[in-house]
Amino acid sequence: MSSIDDLFTKLRRENRKALMPFITAGDPDVDFTAAMIEQLVARGASMCEIGIPYSDPIADGPVIQESYTRALDRGIKVSDILRTLGKVAAKIDAPLVTMVSYAIIYRHGAEQYADALQQKGVAGMIVPDLPVEESPQLAAVCASRNLSLIQLVTPTTSPDRALKIAETSSGFLYYVSVAGITGERTELPPELQDRVGWLREQTPLPVCIGFGISQPEHVKLLAPVADGLIVGSAIVRRMAKAETAGRDCTLQDVGDYVSTLLAAFA
């Protein structure tokens, strides 16, 4: 079992759900990335998703796109990110996963990228632009290294295709709440709960919801039907203030925000 499998086994035994913050690596630098991960875990986050900046993200809205651009303009490298994650992973008791374009994996080589994650203690990868038809090879590479390959199901994914995605996924399934890009939303689709409920009946994998979640009310609405909730843009937007508001203040601000979301699980 991977560390993500262990996490969800523990959460289910304790009748708890996961909060999984997403942050962009290297915005404004890897030292702040490390400090933010430690802050999030200290506040109670179950897992952290680390976005690997990419020049042409497939599903990210303006907040995350801008954070990627800032990090890339400062010369961030994948090797710098993984080195930092390795240092942090040794200090915390929560899995780390990378949100990474398949183009980056392909450029490095699937086995080489997976080896690097394994060596640094990273638990797995989310690959948003990996078609299910091309996923078995990467799934095998991950399985041989005890890494989780987390794939996405969207509102426009057909039931048959969703089941195929589940077959080559591990760790958990990432359910995209809306047809569109990432970003904070005031309202979520009314059919979301039913769709997630159906998917959970089809697979033993945990199902976690992302895209648009930003308010305690969203947590209260979705926690009963999901195994975990993913929050990204609302955190990345707050992190963007680090250079103007100060790093310590930003760490506190993001930590306080995450605490309000965690309180809504109760």
Judge whether 36 and 255 are in contact, CB under 8 Å.
no
Judge whether 22 and 232 are in contact, CB under 8 Å.
yes
Query: Catalytic residue at 73?
Result: no
Query: Catalytic residue at 49?
Result: yes
The full length of the chain comes to 266
Active-site residue (options: 29, 60, 184, 227): 60
CA distance 175 to 155: 8
Give the Å distances, CA to CA, from 143 to 13, 110, 129, 148, 168. 24, 12, 19, 7, 10
Which residues, including other chains, have CB under 8 Å from residue 145's CB and lie 6 or more apart? Answer: 114, 115, 117, 118
Q: How confident is residue 190, by pLDDT bands cut at 50, 70 and 90?
A: confident
Tokens linked to 244 = 């103007």
For residue 177, the model assigns a pLDDT of 87
Four-CA torsion 96, 258, 24, 244, nearest 10 degrees: -140
The DSSP secondary structure of 163-218, one letter per residue, reads HHHHHT--S-EEEESSSS-----S---TTHHHHHHHHHHH-SS-EEEESS--SHHH
Q: Once rounded to an integer, what is the mean pLDDT over residues 19-33?
A: 97
Judge whether 124 and 146 are in contact, CB under 8 Å.
no
For residue 179, the model assigns a pLDDT of 63
Active-site residue (options: 49, 80, 133, 184): 49
pLDDT of 252 higher than 70 = yes
Model pTM?
Answer: 0.94
Find, among 54, 118, 109, the residue nearest to 86 by Cα: 118
pLDDT of 203 higher than 90 = yes
For residue 186, the model assigns a pLDDT of 62
Q: Model confidence over 54-66: pLDDT tens digits?
A: 988 776 678 999 9
Q: Model confidence over 34-43: pLDDT tens digits?
A: 999 999 999 9
- Least confident range from 53-57, 221-225, 239-243: namely 53-57
For residue 185, the model assigns a pLDDT of 63
CA distance 126 to 132: 13
Q: Model confidence over 128-187: pLDDT tens digits?
A: 999 999 999 999 999 999 999 999 999 999 999 999 999 999 999 999 987 655 656 666
